[in-house]
Structure 1
Amino acid sequence: MPTTPSERDVSEAYDRLAPQYAELFADVRRAHPADRAAYGELARLVLDDGGVRVGDLGCGPGHWAAHLADQGLDVVAVDLSPVFVTMARLAHPDLDVQVGSLSDLPFDDETLDGAACWFSLIHTPPEDLGTVLAEVARVLVPGGRLLVGFKADQDGERGEVVAYDHRVVTGYLWPTDELVARLHDAGLEETHRRVREPGPDERFLHGALLLRKHGLGDD
């Protein structure tokens, strides 16, 4: 359940707009090829590491969680929006989907071999992001993999995080290096980045980061 005023705003806003969101985005086949490739790489890395359990953290109507399950992973999914969770359960009855907050995840320590935060951090105020990233790191096993999708500021270097008028609720544009630094502070090391130009119906650069939690095989 939401634990902060910001999370309550996000939950309520997506509850209202969930049907429209699902109509636009819930078909993975219509996603940008680079986005499908990012999820494919996450699945490959987790399986190559000998892992299988992956969390979709901020799963929306469950389309990406189902996509990961189709690649042979054991997927658990959470979302702040009860309406999204209901939609995901109806569309994908084999998935384990729960209402949950990224700042208080319903998983024990070091129980996920990988996770995706695919544009689920974009509404988190910068002052709250450290708490959320520490919580994500908590549930990953040492060496666990993380995929982060985000709206990127034009300035890729460290700098000011910019609020913008997302159509649902306030979002934040992150300079890529600044977001990577925050993730590093949470014990997550970048292994790959991709920033692509906006598509026809997109306003901002789209960033994707793959990261690995410190601990396994580190000096």
Structure 2
Amino acid sequence: MTTDDWMADTRTSYDTVATSYTEQLRDAISGGPHLRAALEVFAELVRTAGGGPVADVGCGPGHVTAHLHGLGIDAFGIDLSPGMIDAARRDHPDLHFEVGSMTDLRLGDASIAGLIAWWSLIHIPDDEVPAVFAHFHRVLRPGAPLQLGFHVGDTSHLKTQGYGGHPMSVYVHHREPDQVASWLREAGFTIEAQWLCDPDGQVPQAILFARRRS
């Protein structure tokens, strides 16, 4: 499958489920104390690094972007799906959202003070991840924090239905934290912490804290 193929499938899938996805995730952060804690730590790291604009990459309907804004962070959102961006703009009209891809971030070099990508990297094939991390490194200021959230494991599967039973065609990649950390180190990041969430659940989750080397 080419890059154009999987990106088109991912875009179409999330356009299709945008409304139901938005409703299902509306209370995800308010009902998740560990998620809130991770965002509070990230916000503190942004502030102590000097503050500035923060990119929420793969922002979906903007719930993480909005939560960061509520913590005093100048956050904006980027997502591959126009449907998701429409939902984000509708729910959070005071914030900035734009259509874009983490495979080709249209941001200036060293232009942002932090970057967060929660459960959006899960759709990027392994062979594309190093290039994505190179983009993250390029757009972050030296010393700026990065936070990633992803499914833990070593398998991939094709998701054909989701979020209210709507049809989808999107690959979901589960990865071990050590593998993600290795890719980040190769891209010029220092790993500061790894959180494992719901380790006894059906699909454990990881949140990884990193920083662009100065």
Q: 5 Å matches for 1:87-106?
A: 87-106=87-106
Question: 1:1-219, aligned counterparts within 5 Å?
Answer: 4-153=4-153, 161-166=154-159, 167=162, 168=168, 169-197=170-198, 203-215=202-214
Going from structure 1 to structure 2, the CA distance change for 1:188 and 1:203 (only over 3 Å counts) comes to: same
* Aligned-partner residue type, residue 190 of structure 2: E
Judge conservation of contact 1:180–1:190 (CA < 8 Å) in 2: yes
Question: 3-state DSSP class of the match of 1:141?
Answer: coil
Aligned residue for 1:110, secondary structure, equals coil
Closer/same/farther in 2, CA of residues 125 and 92 from structure 1, 3 Å limit: same
Cα distance, 1:164 vs. partner? 2.4
Give the letter for the 1:163 counterpart.
S
Gap regions ≥5 residues in structure 2: 163-167
SS at match of 2:110: coil
TM-score scaled by structure 2? 0.90
CA offset digits 1:56-109 (Å, max 9, x no partner): 000000011011111111112100000100111111111110000001112101
Runs of 4+ in 1 over 3 A off after TM superposition: 28-31, 165-168
Residue pair 1:28, 1:36 contacting (<8 A) in 2 also: no
Query: How many aligned residue pairs are there?
Result: 204
Cα 1:71–1:209 shift into 2, 3 Å? same
Q: Which structure 1 segments of 5+ residues have no match? A: 154-160
Give 1:27 shift: 2.6
| Contact 1:28–1:64, Cα closer than 8 Å, also in 2 | no
In the alignment, residue 187 of structure 1 is paired with which amino acid? G
CA RMSD across the alignment = 1.6
Residue 158 of structure 1 corresponds to: none
Give the Cα separation in 1 of the matches to 2:5 and 2:37: 34
8 Å Cα contact 1:151-1:205 kept in structure 2: yes
Report the 3-state secondary structure (helix = DSSP H, G, I; strand = E; otherwise coil) of the residue aligned with 1:95.
coil
Give the aligned residue type for 2:186. D
Contact 1:162/1:173 (<8 A) preserved? yes
Q: Is the 8 A contact 2:29 2:35 kept in 1?
A: no
Deviations 1:103-153 (A, max 9, x none): 111210111110100011001010111111111111100001011000011
Q: What TM-score results when the alignment is normalised by the length of structure 1? A: 0.88
**Deviations 1:37-69 (CA, angstroms, capped at 9, x unpaired):** 111110011111211211000000001101111
User: Matched residues in 1 for 2:113 and 2:20: separation?
Assistant: 32
Q: Distance in 1 between matches of 2:8 and 2:187?
A: 24
Tell me, what secondary structure is at the counterpart of 1:170?
strand
Alpha-carbon distance between aligned partners in 1 of 2:113 and 2:212, rounded to the nearest angstrom:
10
Residues in 2 aligned to 1:70 and 1:149: alpha-carbon distance in whole angstroms:
20
Separation of aligned partners in 2, 1:6 and 1:43? 32
Alpha-carbon separation, structure 2, partners of 1:68 and 1:4: 31
2:29 & 2:209 partners in 1: Cα distance? Answer: 22
SS at match of 2:210: strand
CA distance in 1 between counterparts of 2:29 and 2:117 reads: 19
CA contact (8 A) 1:59 1:77 kept: yes
Q: Could you tell me how far apart the structure 2 residues matched to 1:4 and 1:84 are?
A: 19
2:60 counterpart SS class: coil
